[in-house]
Amino acid sequence: METIRVQHVTPNDMPWKIRYDASRCTLCGSCVSACSFRAIGAKVERRRMVFSEGDLPDPQQRFSAVPVIRQVKDVRHYCRGCGICEKVCPNDAIAPQRNPDTRHPVVSRCLGGDSIKRGGRKNLEGTTRTLDKLRVGRISQMTDPSLDAQRHTFDLLAPFGRIMPPKALPFSLDNQNNLQVEDTMPPVRWVYPVIIGDMSIGALSWRMWEAVALAVAYLNEECGMPVRMCSGEGGVPVRLLKSRYLKYMILQIASGHFGWNRIAKAMPHMVEDPAGILIKIGQGAKPGDGGLLQANKVAEHIQAIRGVPKADLLSPPNHQGLYSIEESVQKMFLSFNSAFKFRVPVAIKVAASATSVSVFNNLVRDPYNIVGGFFLDGIDGGTGAAHEVSLDHTGHPIVSKLRDCYLAAVNQGRQGQIPLWAAGGLGKTGDLAADAFKMIALGANGVFTGKLILQMAGCVGNDMGRCNACNTGLCPVGITTQEPALVHRLDVDRVAQNIVNYFLAMDTEFKKLMAPIGNSSLPVGRSDALVSTDKAVADRLSIQYVC
């Protein structure tokens, strides 16, 4: 008989327990082979059967060895609740069940002596989201007509690039009294108000990254929607760098500078300018922490693109050599602007923080007119890998902070000069159009989204602790892994199609939100269109309280 001590890890210590019905199981093995975490295995159980065959009780016993599927008792191979076993089981014989009595947060730290890491989003479910307490409540009735979402035309674009104050425009009048531009101006690109957030090749599987890039190209070339995608910090395949599709890509540089050796070398061969450059200072999901790509995801092609050996790739928490905002403006913005001869807008991404307004104020007063966007990322943003304590306990919600930045610009009469882009849990309920629209009415020019894109691709993770194993390189649906067997689970065309369809649906929904308030262009800062049934939220955001 197996001896067990109470300190030994057993399934009831784990966040998920496997429910298994041996009577339905055909032992086909699908679940075991599909479980990327090796959290279940085939095992033989010794069974004892007591029976009596005669008219009178005559107990006899029979022992048998029965093959079954059992949960692995190992903290390194614990069940993440992804449900792939259930998905592949032909007989509904197996499924993970949430264990409310889990001891995992303690056990894992005790056994590992290391902090817990995971992917996903903040899992501490709180009260109703702020955005769900807002409604588009200023409806055009009588005094002005609502528009027709189907028939009218709408201008659904947002700026990416530094916008000059009107009196600084280098205009003169020609002899026919027409305005003409006399001098160069900072580059500004008008793009779709939803940018696909920065997820690196490395964090994502090559097939996932390809699917996103494919969807972006399709949206641009076939649907006429100028959607842009940010590369994330991890470089870009050289073939793409040299292709005309580069114009749809925003190249990111973060503190690890991963991939920039190749990008710099490809510059003489570029046939198109990239859509923009995004300097990542921080990320909403793990503010104050750098990127983290664990060695098991650093496959050969990742090593090649990033120019690194197979090792944990830790981006430092800050850009080495930058000691002040002024310095960042002078060094990074200037060098990236000049690298592309001032043709490509350069923006910055920071984690939302109690200090965001100060940072924004410094940038908005930038005398060089080279800060082309302020990307503000809130606490509910996703990540491929982070320390759980950072994910769950650090960060700042996006809604009020975005609003603060916008109103800070309004106070200085500088709204719109540095476009504001917001992220962090937007689309968390699956309804990105509504979230984006509300953020725009509060002052954002547009939003960016990452986690939702993964969900479009089939990510089974959720904010209730399901899966969230992006860091392990064992993504069961092939999105955040570099394991060829897992990556091939992902159907590139299908993922691209899902993304395209979601954007088409969202585009219709944007119009269904703009039409009732009578606006044919994006209502940036039109906070009078919003109402809240929560007094505290209404006061904090300076919008109308209704009840």
Partner 1 sequence: MCRIGAIKSSNYVHPSQALKLMESQQKGHDNSGFAMVMHDLGGIFESYKHLPTLSMACTDEGLKLAEDILHQAGFQRVMQWVPETDPQPGLDILAMPNYVFETFDYPRHYRNGVQKDKEELLLDIRLKLRKALEQDEQGFVYSFWPDVVTLKEIGDPRDIGTYFKLWTADDKFTAKVITAQCRQNTNYDIVRYAAHPFFLQGYTALANGENTFYLKNVEAQRKLHRGYIGFESDSQCFLYTLHYVHRELRWPLRYYKHVVTPLPFSELERRDDKEPLLALRQSLAHLEINGPNTIIGVLPDFTLFTCCDAKKLRPVVVGRTDDTVVISSEVCGINDILPDRDWESDIYPHEREIVAIDSNLEVQRWRQ
- Give the binding site for partner 1 (CB under 8 A): 140, 143-145, 147, 152-153, 155, 157, 159, 163-167, 169, 171, 173, 177-181, 185, 188, 190, 410-413, 415-416, 517-521, 523-528
How far is residue 498's CA from residue 527's CA, in Å, rounded to a whole number? 32
40 DSSP 8-state letter? E
The distance of closest approach from Cβ of residue 519 to partner 1 in the complex, given in angstroms and rounded to an integer, is: 5
Which residue, 397 or 443, is less far from partner 1 as judged by CB? 443
Closest to partner 1 by CB, 110 vs 164, is 164
Biggest distance spanned by C-alpha atoms of the chain:
119
DSSP strand pairing (94-98 vs 171-173): unpaired
Minimum CB separation from partner 1 for residue 190, in Å? 6
In sign, the C-alpha dihedral spanning 283, 423, 360, 257 is: positive
Output 92 or 144, the one with its CB closest to partner 1: 144
**Cβ at position 396, least distance to partner 1 in Å:** 24
Give the type of residue at 173: L
Min. distance of Cβ 158 from partner 1 in angstroms?
10
Q: What is the spatial distance between Cα 370 and Cα 373, in angstroms, rounded to a whole number?
A: 9
The dihedral over CA atoms of 264, 266, 270, 274, expressed in degrees to the nearest 10, equals -50
Q: Assess contact for 477 and 457: CB atoms under 8 A.
A: yes
In the complex with partner 1, which residue's Cβ is closer, 440 or 487?
A: 440
- By beta-carbon proximity to partner 1, the closer residue of 179 and 505 is 179
Q: In sequence order, which ranges of 230-324 are alpha helices (DSSP H)?
A: 238-241, 260-266, 300-306
Closest CA to 69 of 36, 43, 39: 43
- Compute the least distance from the CB of residue 145 to partner 1, in Å: 6
User: How many residues appear in the chain?
Assistant: 547
Give the number of other CB atoms < 10 A from CB of residue 231.
27
| CA-only gyration radius of the chain, Å | 27
Select from 34, 43, 33, 46 the least CA-distant residue to 11: 43
Instruction: Sort strands 446-449 and 420-423 into parallel, antiparallel or unpaired.
Output: parallel
What are the DSSP E strand ranges found in 139-215? 158-160, 171-173, 179-181, 189-191, 194-196
- Is 115 or 180 the residue whose CB approaches partner 1 more closely? 180
Q: In angstroms, give the least distance from the CB of 223 to partner 1.
A: 14
If the CB atoms of residues 49 and 173 are measured against partner 1, the closer one turns out to be 173
Tokens (6 digits) for 385: 């890998």
Q: How is residue 368 written in tokens?
A: 């060089």
Task: Tell me how far, at minimum, the Cβ of 33 lies from partner 1, in Å.
Answer: 52
Which residues lie across from 66 on neighbouring strands?
45
Residue with token string 């369809």:
501
Q: How near is the Cβ of 415 to partner 1 at its closest, in Å?
A: 6
Q: Please count the helices (runs of H) and the strands (runs of E) in the chain.
A: 17, 23
Q: How far is the CB of 161 from partner 1 (least distance, A)?
A: 8
Residue 469 or 529: which CB sits closer to partner 1?
A: 529
Looking at the Cβ atoms of 447 and 477, the one nearer to partner 1 is: 447
What's the min distance (Å) between Cβ of 473 and partner 1? 42
* Residue nearer to partner 1 on the CB measure, 470 or 517: 517
